[in-house]
Structure 1
């Protein structure tokens, strides 16, 4: 007699395991511990075999019978249900290993050796928040352009066009990695580019008019804030136009005043490449003044509360704001200031870009950290002299 729901539900454990038969090879195995396991007994290749169909109540009587019928259909096609189940499990495991999330994490693990830990963590957080919920479990080879667009539209819907653009970049990098590792055939994210809302271009406020630059430098020179480090940091940003973070985290080990050279290590550079900064007479003079008050700190610009921690990133911005330049010029603006004036003076674009530590056309893979070093040294010498002239010249 076939089982019914009441018989399955009310089956009690005994001292030994026992079976409650349904029909067509299906039965319920009741263990001494009270477990209720569905089993399907069948013959294949002349041998008796068993197929596990799950446990009650997670798998109901109806579901167990459906699974049995699926197995019987396989048998009618001369396919062993147990072998088919193992293959399906193996395939599912393979698909999970080639899911978008698995490939993305693999990609980040490899790229993390070249990126800072902070940047790697931020990329992973962005993927976990905005991308994995939709694409994570999907086999990377099955991700389509509409799938990618769905993710980006969700981000854009909350007014985050810039975040959508960055997510698009990260998805594209993961897809291209999947292509080169033979897990996908093409980067479908490339098809979506034209469908995104344009992100607002971010321009750092910067002074580029010569007279205004001279006024700014005179104001900085007269700054009597609570730290001599702030004044000198701003002056060095003007003369070297490195990124503020690269300056704030500088250590004395990087500064060679005899060779007039500052070597910024790769792990502190945006492109993860070491960067050489020639020191002019003026920038070397500033470093010399700072070294005289160095104390025991290994940092060129130690923080207020601890000399073992770099100056806070907000210090320079707050100082400029206090001087009356809030919204007019920011620490990062010294880079745009230098780039604009040097271009107008006719200096070679490649030399300017090399000093800005931007990626140069034609430079792939191995990067020559001393690229255009002689030309950059001459350019910075001119630039420091130009800034000094603007500082000492009085407006009409």
Structure 2
């Protein structure tokens, strides 16, 4: 008579092996694969997936906190996505290569719904993500309480995109670390994001050859941040549709700084369009320009003291200083227009390439800016 118990045990082992293979080696072993990560899965941590993933794969990470788990991703064309809720990577004193929670060395990486916090390293330059490959897209993610949120080095062929993400309380307090710091890449695009509370550093710093910073909320929140936006080497840049709030403790009096470290061979073309600038210091400059800048300032609202710019002769049209009475909730950085605002229907036309196309939606989102008769001043179009 057969031993039914032994047969059942053998069948259980075989089925378990098949299930394991299904997790670790999908049927199409030659094409892109999907890896699932979580405490109850075969791959329990993101770093375990980093060890087995190949070019073109997708890594889906279950919601939860992965304390002290750090990784280096060397593969190209990866998608790294949280699922079922927030995925929190908390450094807890650990780092990949002494650099970051994640070091991304591959090209064309997408990161979605991941939270990075607590990155510190001996040289004081730790990051949530250290980007070393080309082309990074980050969406719906959070970076907080790191020495840098994202730190990207020089890569002249690289395009970096950040959408609907949050950066807050990053910086080591030394003035050299920032919420978001992008080196000499081909382009940086930041939209629908909330950056606030950098510790001594800048809310956003970019050395990219092209910059599009549109439809964001950038606010010091009483922190000791430096510039709200620093484009130290210039570059062909659009700053449009942002609410930019400088707090009373800011270490620098300018909200936007352009070309302060020299242009080199970079473009000097800057358009600053339809922003709402708020200065809560006693003095300041809303847009600080290096000599030789080719800047256009149009349709911006100025709230608080300070000069629009530091240079004479800069083309500037329809920029207006207003009080706080006709905004939705200025005490909480909500500068949507209320009925009767002097900003309504006061804007001038802007070439299509340089228009403000996005509006920020709190806490980290964006919608298309509507076209309602003549354009309103500032970061928001009043809905009629």
Q: Is TM (by shorter chain) over 0.5?
A: no
Question: Which of 1 and 2 has higher RCO (CA within 8 Å, sep 6+)?
Answer: 1
Query: By percentage of residues, which structure has more strand?
Result: 2
TM-score, normalised to structure 2, is 0.26
| Higher gyration radius (CA) | 1
